[in-house]
Structure 1
């Protein structure tokens, strides 16, 4: 029976294993509870007689709690593709569950590519010298080999007397373990006197400072926005997945079955496989696993979303792609001429057209695009959702759009907001609270109330706050809930003293002197940005005779005599 001697190290280094890797449900039953017998779903195997007796591994990555995983999902899938990290046999992943030390040890060893060694008969027969070795052998007999390999690879501290398999792993333990798993222990010891600038740095033991410093330097782990490290905070399975994935990027790949391939897709997926053209121009064709995860534009997508020219990162397991991430989307060629319906109003100078086959194409407009609606050239803003159009492009940009059938824009039954202007062409435009605008035609028998009295539509004023009721997209009732401020107009005549300009070179104030009974008085008046100057502006000099008009206290017109 092989003996494993305890190695000297700091107590914290064992906990390190925690954050570095998770054995997931290697000891979980169908309910996610430990029973010491079952292995995780990706380890469920059978002898494959047609493959030299090699175990066939089924990876379970379609988790029931996928919505809860959110940000960690991509990390988990990449690790599952290497057989390092996976979900429970009941189809869940339990992302918010705290990870234990034994889970961390197992995952760290697997991440190092030593799974086969850890599960060998020789390692499983190891007699461990920990105080709680008998508890491990009783509850997790399959994990004995992993602990033995972890000892051989110096992942334990020399002073560790117990495994404490079910104890929660902490961030400090994790940081230490990640550094050890990468073989950076010497570098960590050299940085033992590093000054860590966290507010809670005093909570990090002196012997662990170097490990934290290296983990931060290698971007394996980070602090929090409040400038704390929280060394004793337990790590969840989702957090562990992210940390494992960062470590994996710097770990040598010892598993020939689990590869990372980067390159450009030669064509869309065909016959259940994809072909990647690598940087050295060589090509590799990889079949897609039935439960492959595909991410495009950071969204989980279908196989059909993959396009020729997409730059991708592909993870394989047992020769099949289980994870495909589009790192840079291919630029889609735009047809020279196509038709369809406008999906929404023009935004960011782009229009989206829904074609007859329900596919969508979004195309930018040239600065001088010609757009015709009802036989009249209009601005791009005149396009509305539902317009049926003929589109012509040049070099991937729209140069011509003709509306072949106007879309019917539904008008809300009830609209509130402020009138943009008085009634014009029997229509009113309401500016809603979200600053969007809606223009409504008045019904012939529309009822309009202002000050509680029925009035003509012409009594409506710009700035009136209104409630509008519609029927068949026409206004049938308008009530002014708050009147626009009354406009006051005042006129002054006199001699100009001075004109002061603002930073934009526009008139900010004017000063003039006017004759009054018994003498003269000087006036300094603020000027509206939209001021209108009548006469020769070059005559606006001291002594010039002027007439100024104030609207609601601002000069809106200056007339030079």
Structure 2
């Protein structure tokens, strides 16, 4: 039975369930389909069934036989991770979701992705092999038992031996490599070379060895690697930094590797996703698209991850004419990326100059949001881009939301921005991201904030996403003085993330029972009795434990008011607690 029919059966099994966040469970299909074989997509062909999935194309007797003989293994496919938070890594969320939806690059069993962790060579090799569609082969018994003629073959873990064998077979190693070095950190130059080889562009790299790279640290790139870097830049796999350095020896984080892999995947053949054009907006939780002249209807998973113009959006933001890539599990779309639009000039002009409005300030991931002809676009900034504001050369960070500018694009990136009409910052962007300080608590669904020394009233969207200390909270948890990052959609605050919360406290009074201390005398547990409004006496213990930290007091971060020697059983005490993190900061002995 061919792989394409296998996928049709596996994705048709009713094994999906929601695990919270953006997770789905589906059966392990073990590899990509045969190229140019679209049989598995018949399950989604729109044959007049009111846009619902049609699964009647499978041969039921073959299906029964196949399922009875299939060793089904449930897998959790998590597309979003709670630890992908913070301006230094949030830019990678879209790449991580895209790769996780195809099981190319995934998180850990504890539900984290650890985006800031550097990636090892063996993990990078495994991801590259999966990206090439060779997971099935790499995990086969034959590959796992291949004799590896590397000096450190004994250091390659059992699960990875097949991946090393397949990587070797597909020229991902150099002829002179005598070690795998599985646990060594992958640096930028090594990772770049690996992915150029995954694209099978070694010959192009060899032809470009005489390229003169313009990076300030180009002399740190070995002569035999210059061609690989040149091809990687040409293929838009990797860029330099704002200071025009390449930093070849800098270790690659998992977030950075996600971006590299996703960019590489764009240039690789992929028959396991839908790549087509939306026929209409999403209706009845179903999208319809046309691919190669065939129309398909695909139901959306409840936790579908959708990217449009670089942002995660709701299904309502998808429009007829959008070019989309759709990843499917259990007959449902779990990841959708609008890669462009074929209608109404929705794409920014390439290699040209045009007028646009700066829609959000340049952030750490070197992208800029622009509005042109009423539409918003997120565009990557070239490493050597030029910016001018007020008639002088400035850095990208000097641009302001609302600036009118003449923008030049080159090879899909912004290469020049000349501000022709600088904003006075009198109004907030209708769509975009900015940082502000909260002036007062939410009142009538309106939040007062200060940005660049100006005060604005911001209306909250009907269902805003509000995050404080990494947890989703109600709008009432926003406090005066909080620093927040706000995402505006249609003139309303859609996402608010508290980046630096103010410390406010509340007090608990009671009678002292006991304390436990560390060897240095610091208190880590305190027990008091509280008298409730109904007269009931309740014992409360505030304790720092390895799991489930409830309340913590330590003398290094808190204070004791009063004479500690007077801390006696039955004596009156007051605990003052930070409401941000529920940690005791002061013990008052009365």
TM-score by length of 1: 0.48
Determine which structure has more spread, i.e. the larger CA radius of gyration: 1
TM-score by length of 2: 0.45
